[in-house]
Amino acid sequence: MSIKILHIDSNNPILWQQLEDAGFENHADFKSSKEEIEAKIQDYNGIVIRSRFKIDKTFLDKATNLQFIARVGAGLESIDCDYAEAKGIHLIAAPEGNRNAVAEHSLGVILSLFNNLNQADAEIKAGHWNRESNRGHELNGKTVGIIGYGNMGKAFAKKLRGFEVDVIFHDILENIGDENAQQVSLQELQQKADVLSLHLPWTPETDKMVNTDFINAFAKPFWIINTSRGKNIVTADLVEAMKAKKILGAGLDVLEYEKLSFETLFQDKNTPEAFQYLLEAKNALLTPHIAGWTFESHERLAQVIVDKIKAVYSK
């Protein structure tokens, strides 16, 4: 029987080509609404998505022949995973595909914040030669705390080798430390960390996790990096901590104002007050959800998805 796959987002061409070469039947629909896709989804055995819309119970109830959902990305929060698994649907993601890109981006953000690179560049281009106000910090001797030690957290810890830093992490799973990082309690991490890097999924447990109480539990002023999900941080609380110099700098690749599709920034046309502060803050470095968005990861993500889909049908 031919396995029919519906692609609802564009991806690297190798994904389509290799699935076709393996005998799968590919179909594409990048424009139809969720309701229009639902009207025909019963004709397909698999679906390949990025983040165009949420795969919810309504969608899954109409997908009566669906055997797998493949998301070309690291997380599955746009899918009702419990309901899909209860229906026997395989869930496929590709965190292996962009973990290196996220790790390199995170490292670059720390080095830029520590050395005022973006600020100094802007000042030079505006005709200002300010040395003392751009005096930097060295990463050497600092303690980097990672929350979330999955694919992304582990890749970041590996990148930190050679910088002569102490790397510690907290995770809900136990006994997963390795040669690159020591596992500690959240309380110990908050006591020791000079830098906090988030590598978490967005779940009910991590939603708005970084709030005023969380920030104030840190013993020292610290820098924060977020390349995971924007809604893991309460931006207004972050900004208040930056004003109080409890947070020394913030590198945010994701923002709580992002829509699920990650294609546009705001839910509405109003610029939140906290975000306006970040736009003007010299110690805030903002990027548009590109930590895992390299040319290399674009291909690697597609390859991981192909390999995992083929594995489902080789058992």
Q: Which residues belong to the active site?
A: 229, 258, 289
Q: Which residues contact 305 (CB under 8 A, 6 or more apart)?
A: 11, 15, 48, 70, 72, 92, 94, 97
CB 26 within 8 A of CB 33: no
d(CA 131, CA 121): 12
CB atoms within 10 A of CB 205: 9
How many residues appear in the chain? 315
Biggest CA-to-CA distance, the chain: 70
28 bridge partner residues: 7
* Burial class of residue 186 (count of CB atoms within 10 Å of its CB; 0-12, 13-18, 19+): middle
d(CA 23, CA 25): 7
CB 12 within 8 A of CB 305: no
